[in-house]
Chain A
Amino acid sequence: MLELLTQTRWSPYAVGIGIGILSWLTFLISKRPIACSTTFAKLSGMIEMVFRGDKVEQKPYYQKLRLVVGWQMMLVLGIVIGSLLSALVSGDFRWQWVPPLWAAASGSSPLLRVGVALLGGVIIGFGARWAGGCTSGHGISGTLQLAVSSWISAVCFFIGGILTAHLIFRLIGQ
Chain B
Amino acid sequence: MHETKTKTKRVKDMPTLLWGLAFGIVFGFLLQKGGATKFDVIVGQLLLTDFTVLKIMLSAVLTGMIGIHAMKSLGWVQLNPKSGSAGMNIIGGLIFGVGFAVLGYCPGTIAGAIGNGYLDATVGGLVGILLGAGLFAALYPRLSEGILKKGEFGDLTLPRLFRVNDWVVVVPVAVLIFLLLYWLERAGR
Q: Do residues B97 and A164 form an inter-chain contact, with CB atoms below 8 A?
A: yes
| A173 at the binding interface (Cβ < 8 Å) | no
Contact of A93 among B9, B116, B153 (CB under 8 A): B116
User: Hey, which chain B residues are within 8 Å of A33, CB to CB?
Assistant: 80
Q: In the complex, A98→B43 CA distance in Å?
A: 13
Q: Do residues A116 and B112 form an inter-chain contact, with CB atoms below 8 A?
A: no
Q: How large is the interface on A (under 10, 10 to 19, 20 to 34, 35 or more residues)?
A: 35 or more
Given contacts A9-B33, A22-B23, A145-B157, contact A158 B124 (CB under 8 A): no
Q: In the complex, A80→B25 CA distance in Å?
A: 7
Q: Report the nearest B residue to A35, measured CB to CB.
A: B108
Q: In the complex, A96→B37 CA distance in Å?
A: 12
Q: Report the nearest A residue to B153, measured CB to CB.
A: A148
Give the Cβ gap from A17 to chain B, nearest Cβ, in Å: 5
Q: In the complex, A48→B133 CA distance in Å?
A: 11
Taking chain A's interface residues, is the majority helix, strand, or loop, or is none over half, making it mixed?
A: helix
Q: Report the nearest B residue to A160, measured CB to CB.
A: B97
| B179 at the binding interface (Cβ < 8 Å) | no
Contact of A78 among B22, B60, B173 (CB under 8 A): B22
User: Hey, which chain B residues are within 8 Å of A107, CB to CB?
Assistant: none
- Which residue among A62, A83, A133, A153 has the maximum number of chain B CB atoms within 10 Å of its CB? A83
User: Hey, which chain B residues are within 8 Å of A113, CB to CB?
Assistant: 120, 124
Q: Do residues A147 and B84 form an inter-chain contact, with CB atoms below 8 A?
A: yes
Q: In the complex, A136→B108 CA distance in Å?
A: 7
Q: Do residues A151 and B158 form an inter-chain contact, with CB atoms below 8 A?
A: yes
Q: Do residues B28 and A80 form an inter-chain contact, with CB atoms below 8 A?
A: yes
* Residues of A104-149 contacting chain B, CB below 8 A: 110, 113-149
Q: Do residues B133 and A126 form an inter-chain contact, with CB atoms below 8 A?
A: yes
Q: In the complex, A171→B110 CA distance in Å?
A: 25
Contact of B16 among A70, A115, A117, A130 (CB under 8 A): A70
Q: Do residues A127 and B130 form an inter-chain contact, with CB atoms below 8 A?
A: no
Given contacts A97-B120, A161-B98, contact A20 B63 (CB under 8 A): yes
Closest 10 CB pairs of A and B: A78-B24, A160-B97, A121-B128, A149-B84, A20-B63, A156-B93, A125-B132, A82-B28, A124-B99, A16-B59
Residues of chain A having any CB pair with chain B under 8 Å: 7, 9-10, 12-13, 15-34, 36-37, 39-41, 43-45, 47-48, 59-62, 67-87, 90, 92-102, 110, 113-166, 168-169
Given pairs A44-B131, A166-B46, 6 additional interface contacts (CB within 8 A): A10-B33, A36-B108, A78-B22, A102-B39, A120-B125, A121-B131
Q: List 5 A-B contacts (CB under 8 A).
A: A77-B24, A131-B88, A135-B107, A142-B82, A161-B98
